[in-house]
Structure 1
Amino acid sequence: MKHTFASDNYSGVHPDIMEALINANRGHQGSYGADVFTEEAVAKFRALLGNDIEVFFAYNGTGANVMGLSAMTRSFDSIICSDLAHINVDESTAPEKFMGCKLVTIPTTDGKIYPSQVEEKIQRIDDQHHPQARVISISQTTEYATVYSIEEVKALSAVARKHNLFLHMDGSRISNAAASLQADFRAFTRDAGVDVLSFGGTKNGMMFGEAVIFFRPELATTFKYIRKQSMQLHSKMRFISAQFSALLSNELWKKNASHANAMAKLLEAEIRKTSAIITQRVDANGIFMIVPTEVIPKLQEEHFFYVWNDKLSEARLMCSFDTTEEEIRNFGKKLKELLA
């Protein structure tokens, strides 16, 4: 398949990570995480985020999010999130099935939720007839590819602390957020008040694999049982761990994410040369634009992408670690031709 702007999930595996997988394929290692590769990857995460964190690897983002949230909730609790959050829109009914919790959503125009909105949703505490607010969940980057600033995360954490809630971060594109903020991971996660983090790898050059990271170790006491029950305990875990070890070495995460972000900025510049309307601030590796409905299928013939909002004729374009300037220029040329 030719290069597309459909999703950073469409991209292949970065060569350095593929090499790490090949190296991990030599000889025998202990199963279920009892291997040198997992030990090394956990050590790298602790070097970034603190020696007292707990790290657990999982297959995919849905599993990481649902398990992390499960560790903080009971079935009569509720989780406050954006109406665009993956746990609400793109993870089917997995959160409801495995947690039994109610998702309380906040309408958003930029992907973010804000303290005053969250405060409005924290209602009827200690009322047995009402779900009990327990977690605020945010995505970094958001589903609109916007990025929470460090201060914005801290402000949401303050609301969580005020009401004795937890703060969860869905970091499926966390490397893109870090590159955008030009900050280390700790600055906008642990130090900003996040309690549990889903750390994504698949969208930034890995073949598969995510990590669930606990900044409050007491929340992880029973997590090994949650992971097994959730069918996310990988027997040959070294093949997830080896990828993370490579991603976190020599700032490969940063190189990949910075490139994807830079390509999105270049794509933004190309689109702005036309009459297409860009609907969101371009913080990371995604562009959202409105073009005439009849233009979309013609443009998709050469550069496939997804329509985000049919009613608005709004399209989503995602850049990856392997997106090239030539592909961006070709897209811009075609878009200009169609809108002439």
Structure 2
Amino acid sequence: MPTPQQYLQYLFNADDWEDFTVEWVHALGLWEGQPYLRVQRMGGAGDRGADVAACLTLQGTAGEWHCYQCKHYVKPLGQADAFPEMVKIFTAKVLDKYELPTRYVFVAPRIGTTLDRLLLNPPQLREEFLTAWDDDDSKLGAKLTPEAREAVGELARATDFSMFSAQNLDEIVRLHATTPHHVRRFPERLKPRPDADPAPKDQKEHEAVYVRKLLAAYNEKHGLSLQTLQQARETERVRRHFTRQREAFFHAEALRLFARDSVPDATYAAIETDLYDVVIEIEDRDYDLGHDRMDAVMDAAMAHQPNQHNVLAPVVRTKDLMGLCHHLANDDRLTWCKEELQ
């Protein structure tokens, strides 16, 4: 299986690369302890040298911000690629389009050796840039008016070139792997899913709705008047069934927490939505008893196969699907007894 680095270099296109960079930049801000207030993809015509803008203040690019310049080339990124981009960001400042960023990072699958060494030596980088800029045959800024070109040159001479840097691809991948986006981007195995914790002895606050609906189904079927979890636990006719339903609820809760830390939110939401689309047709039918309705929904859930294109599908268990039905009931999207449907 290709590595993430190989996917990035050979299978991603320029748009994919910019989207990937946005995900990485969000993680970078968190990792550095200075979360960006806004990360905006700017690439395209008129971006003026800023593919991704990461803003540290509410002023956006009119305040302090960092520029991430995305270059997805087959060949390593060299000076001939970098210098024109640097001209663009200087020009944007001269034309009052952006403030000059305090950090400007080239994000490319491969950085050429010469450029990489220059970026590690800001004074030499500045010297090389200005030499290329002042060359009589230079094409840098050739489309600028003489006044604008002179202003860009003055700005470059007054700028600390330590603002320019590049990021190593392995480091980018390593940090991106800490995000939920990584497993969606790259077909790697999910990390092992831990076992679900047992259902707690006492009812948790967030269990109130689905427990109430379970008790209503038991009361209707068996002529009982259960009102609390403890009463259900002490009633032999329902105790075993009730215990299994709570176990299923917390299995689904464990799946939700695992998904939260492993995949994008939409991945888990798709599992839940696909199940709901199946069981709502079953729940909507007429039944003599609410318990019968619940049994029919659970049968459908146990027979349901999650979409195999969903990266979570391999770790979804039958008990999760049963528990998800109780989560849906907890969210008032499913109900067992007819009285509660009216």
Higher relative CO (Cα under 8 Å, sequence separation at least 6) belongs to 1
Place the TM-score, normalised by the shorter chain, in its bin.
under 0.3
TM-score (norm 2): 0.25
Greater per-residue helix proportion: 2
Larger Rg: 2
Greater per-residue strand proportion: 1
TM-score (norm 1): 0.25
